[in-house]
C-alpha cells in the first residue's frame, strides 16, 4: 500500500467514530445533488412551455417555477446540514489526533525529546494538524458532492440521450489521468514544505526562548542569517509545491471544456436532425456544466488534500513513535522506600559508539548522604537520570530496597524521589499551583510551612497577590534565585524518602544558601540523598563523596579521607580555596 493509502487508512480509523455524521453528510450530499440535477429538467420543461411568440403556457410554467423554488430551498438546507456534519467530523477528528499526540508525547522516552527540537514537535501538533483540518473539511465537502454529482449527472444524461452521454464518458478519463499525475508529483513537494516549516518553527522557538543569550553574545545577525536561509528554502519549496499543484485546475478545465464542446456539437446536430428538443439540449448543456464542475472543484481540492495528507503523515509518525518500554504487568509499587540503593556493574551511553558510564558500582545505605563531584561531562547528571529511570541502563542493574527499578512502576519510583535541578522549571499559573505540583491536595498551612522552610515565604508575600500571583512559564518578574527557591519549596512540601539535589543552590545568594543548607540538613536527616555540587564547601558533611571522571568512580570516601589521600579530590578542593 502506498504512503497516501496508509495515511488515509489511519485517518478513516479516526473518522469511524463519527460514522453517524458521515452518513448524514452523504445523504445530504445525495439530496442536494439530486435536487440540483432536477432543476435543469425543470428549466428545460419551462423553456418548452414557451412555444412561440404570444403562446406561453403560464399555468404549467407557474407550477414549474414553484417546484424550482422548492428544489432550490431544499438544496440550500441540505448543503447547510452537510457543512455542519463535515465541520463536526473534521474538528473532532483533529481534536482526537491532537489529544492522542499530546498523550503520546507524555509516554515517549526522553531520548526522543532530547534528539528533536521542541519547535519541530510543536509544529507537528499545531501547524500540521491545522493544515490537515483545512484539507479534510474541503475534501469531505467537495468529494461527497463531487462524486455523487458525477454519477447522478451521468444517470440523468443516459436517461435523456445515450449518444451524447457517450461523448462525455469518452473524454472524461483524460481529466482523471491529468489530475492523478500532478497529484502524485506534488505529494513529496508538500512533505518537504511541511518539514521545512517545522525546521523554521524550531529555529524561531529556539531563538525567542533564548533571546537574552542571543543579544548578550551579539548573535542577532547570525540568527537572522539562519532564519533567512530556512525562510528562503521554505519559500522555494512552497512556491514549487503550489505552482505544480496549481496546474491541476487549468489542465482539468481545459479537458472539461472539450466535454462541454462535445455536448454542444453533438446536441446541436441532434436538434437539427429532430432527435431532441431545444429544451432538452438546454438541459444537456446544463448537465455538461454540472458534470465538469466537480472535476474542477475536486482538482482544486486535490492540492489541499495532498498537503493535508503530507501533514497527516508527519503527525502519525509522531503518534507512532515507539513509547517508553511500559512497566511490567507484575511491576511492584514502591511505597515508603527505605532508601537502600545498589548499583551493580552499570554500563550506559547515550550514543552506542561513545562510552560514558563503565562498570559503575555503588552501595548506599538508608539515610546516607552521597555527594557526586567531578569535572563537567564526567557523568554526574547521567547517574541521576539512571536513578530516576529517565533512561534505562545498557547493562547491569540499579536496585532500590532490593528490587530492580525495572521491576518497579516508574510512577511509584519517582514519587519516592524529590528533585531540585540547576535548571528551574515553572509552569504558567499561580505561585501556589507551582508549589503544589507534587502534592495537589496540600493545605495552605502546609504550603506556607514549606515556603518558610525553603526561605521563599518572604519574597512571595511581597508579590502583588502573594501566593495567588500569576507567573508565566518563564517566571517573568522573578529572579533566577527566586525561581530556584520555588523549586526547593516543592520538595520541602512533598518530603519524599529520597532526595536528588543537582546544583540546587547555584543561583542563590550566599546568606540564603547558608540558611537553605541548614534546611536541607534537617530535610535530609533519615533520607537517602544524592547531591551534585561544584562548590565543594556545600558537601563537606556528606557521608560518602564520589569523585567521578570519564564515567568512572576514581575516588570514594568522606571529606577528611579524600583530603588525606591527596588525590584528584584534594587538588579540586584546594583549587577552590587556595589564596
Domains of the chain: 3-319 (1.20.1560.10), 367-389+416-577 (3.40.50.300)
* Eight-state DSSP code of residue 377: T
pLDDT value at position 2?
65
Q: Rounded CA gap, 392 and 386, in Å?
A: 6
Per-residue pLDDT, averaged over 358-377, amounts to 84
Q: Rounded CA gap, 549 and 379, in Å?
A: 8
Strand, coil or helix: 304: helix
Q: What is the pLDDT of residues 124-177, one digit of tens each?
A: 888 888 878 777 766 666 766 777 777 777 777 777 677 777 777 777 667 667
Per-residue pLDDT, averaged over 58-84, amounts to 84
Residue 579 has pLDDT above 60, yes or no: no
Q: Among 116-130, 202-216, 269-283, where is mean pLDDT lowest?
A: 269-283
pLDDT value at position 134?
74
User: What per-residue string of b and e applies to 2-33 under the rule 16 or more CB within 10 Å gives b?
Assistant: eebeebbebbeebbeebeebbebbbebbbbbb
pLDDT value at position 540?
78
pLDDT value at position 176?
66
Indicate the average pLDDT of the chain. 80
Question: Distances in Å between the alpha carbon of 17 and those of 21, 82, 89, 90?
Answer: 9, 17, 9, 12
Of 121, 64, 72, the C-alpha closest to 98 is 121
Does residue 328 or residue 3 have the better pLDDT?
328
Q: Determine contact, residues 374/525, Cβ cutoff 8 Å.
A: no
Alpha carbon 18 to chain centroid distance? 22
* Eight-state DSSP code of residue 124: I
Q: Determine contact, residues 271/277, Cβ cutoff 8 Å.
A: yes
Does residue 486 or residue 5 have the better pLDDT?
486
| Contact residues for 507 (Cβ-Cβ < 8 A; gap 6+) | 422, 424, 479, 480, 481, 483, 484
The end-to-end CA distance of the chain, in Å, is 73
Cell 508525547 -> residue: 105
Residue 429 has pLDDT above 70, yes or no: yes
**pTM for the model:** 0.67
Strand, coil or helix: 212: helix
Residue 320 has pLDDT above 80, yes or no: yes
454: region left, alpha or beta (phi > 0 left; psi from -120 to 50 alpha): alpha
Kind and range of the H or E run holding 342:
strand 341-348
Q: What is the pLDDT of residues 379-421, one digit of tens each?
A: 788 888 888 888 888 888 888 888 888 888 888 888 888 888 7
- Which residues pair with residue 343 across a beta bridge? 362, 398
Q: How sure is the predictor about 285, in pLDDT bands with cuts at 50, 70 and 90?
A: confident
Which one of 229-233, 521-525, 550-554 scores highest in mean pLDDT?
229-233
Greatest Cα pair distance in the chain: 125
Q: Determine contact, residues 160/283, Cβ cutoff 8 Å.
A: yes
Q: Rounded CA gap, 14 and 21, in Å?
A: 13
Dihedral angle at the C-alpha atoms of 5, 6, 8, 9, nearest 10 degrees?
120
Amino acid at each position: 500500500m502506498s504512503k497516501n493509502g496508509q495515511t488515509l487508512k489511519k485517518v478513516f480509523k479516526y473518522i469511524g467514530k463519527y460514522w453517524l455524521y458521515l452518513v448524514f453528510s452523504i445523504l445530504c450530499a445525495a439530496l442536494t445533488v439530486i435536487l440540483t440535477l432536477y432543476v435543469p429538467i425543470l428549466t428545460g420543461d419551462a423553456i418548452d412551455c414557451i412555444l412561440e411568440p404570444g403562446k406561453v403556457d403560464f399555468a404549467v410554467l407557474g407550477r414549474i417555477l414553484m417546484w424550482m423554488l422548492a428544489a432550490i430551498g431544499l438544496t440550500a438546507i441540505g448543503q447547510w446540514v452537510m457543512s455542519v456534519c463535515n465541520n463536526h467530523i473534521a474538528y473532532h477528528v483533529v481534536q482526537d489526533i491532537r489529544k492522542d499526540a499530546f498523550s503520546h508525547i507524555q509516554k515517549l522516552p526522553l531520548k526522543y525529546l532530547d534528539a528533536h527540537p521542541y519547535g519541530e514537535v510543536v509544529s507537528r501538533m499545531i501547524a500540521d494538524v491545522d493544515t490537515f483540518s483545512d484539507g479534510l473539511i474541503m475534501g469531505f465537502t467537495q468529494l461527497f458532492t463531487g462524486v455523487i454529482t458525477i454519477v447522478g449527472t451521468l444517470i440523468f444524461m443516459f436517461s435523456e440521450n445515450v449518444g451524447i452521454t457517450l461523448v462525455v464518458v469518452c473524454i472524461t478519463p483524460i481529466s482523471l489521468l491529468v489530475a492523478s499525475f500532478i497529484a502524485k508529483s506534488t505529494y513529496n513537494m508538500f512533505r518537504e514544505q511541511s518539514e521545512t516549516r517545522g525546521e523554521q518553527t524550531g529555529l524561531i522557538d529556539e531563538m525567542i526562548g533564548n533571546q537574552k543569550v542571543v543579544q548578550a553574545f551579539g548573535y542577532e545577525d547570525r540568527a537572522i542569517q539562519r532564519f533567512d536561509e530556512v525562510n528562503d528554502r521554505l519559500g522555494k519549496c512552497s512556491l514549487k509545491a503550489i505552482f505544480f499543484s496549481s496546474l491541476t485546475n487549468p489542465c482539468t478545465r481545459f479537458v472539461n471544456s472539450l466535454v462541454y464542446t462535445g455536448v454542444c456539437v453533438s446536441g446541436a446536430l441532434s436538434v437539427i436532425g429532430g432527435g431532441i428538443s431545444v429544451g432538452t439540449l438546454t438541459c444537456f448543456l446544463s448537465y455538461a456544466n454540472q458534470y465538469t464542475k466537480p472535476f474542477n472543484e475536486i482538482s482544486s481540492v486535490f492540492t489541499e488534500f495532498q498537503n493535508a495528507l503530507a501533514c497527516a503523515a508527519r503527525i502519525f509518525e509522531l503518534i507512532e513513535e515507539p513509547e517508553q518500554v511500559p512497566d511490567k504487568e507484575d511491576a511492584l509499587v514502591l511505597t515508603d522506600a527505605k532508601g537502600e540503593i545498589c548499583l551493580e556493574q552499570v554500563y550506559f551511553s547515550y550514543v552506542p559508539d561513545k562510552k560514558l558510564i563503565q562498570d559503575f558500582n555503588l552501595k548506599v545505605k538508608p539515610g546516607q548522604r552521597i555527594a557526586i563531584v567531578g569535572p563537567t561531562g564526567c557523568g554526574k547528571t547521567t547517574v541521576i537520570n539512571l536513578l530516576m529511570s529517565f533512561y534505562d541502563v545498557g547493562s547491569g542493574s540499579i536496585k532500590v530496597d532490593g528490587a530492580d527499578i525495572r521491576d518497579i512502576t516508574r510512577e511509584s519510583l519517582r514519587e519516592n524521589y524529590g528533585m531540585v535541578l540547576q535548571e528551574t522549571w515553572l509552569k504558567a499559573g499561580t505561585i501556589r499551583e507551582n508549589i503544589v505540583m507534587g502534592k495537589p491536595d496540600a493545605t495552605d498551612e502546609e504550603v506556607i510551612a514549606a515556603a518558610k522552610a525553603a526561605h521563599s515565604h518572604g519574597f512571595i508575600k511581597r508579590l502583588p497577590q502573594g501566593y495567588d500571583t500569576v507567573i508565566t512559564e518563564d517566571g517573568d518578574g522573578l529572579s533566577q534565585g527566586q525561581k530556584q527557591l520555588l523549586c526547593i519549596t516543592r520538595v520541602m512540601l512533598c518530603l519524599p524518602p529520597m532526595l536528588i539535589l543537582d546544583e540546587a543552590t547555584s543561583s542563590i545568594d550566599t546568606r540564603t544558601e547558608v540558611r537553605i543548607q541548614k534546611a536541607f540538613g534537617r530535610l535530609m536527616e533519615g533520607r537517602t540523598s544524592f547531591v551534585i555540587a561544584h562548590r565543594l564547601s556545600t558537601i563537606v558533611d556528606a557521608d560518602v563523596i564520589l569523585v567521578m571522571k570519564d564515567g568512572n568512580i576514581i575516588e570514594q570516601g568522606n571529606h577528611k579521607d579524600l583530603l588525606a589521600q591527596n588525590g584528584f579530590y584534594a587538588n579540586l578542593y584546594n583549587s577552590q580555596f587556595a589564596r
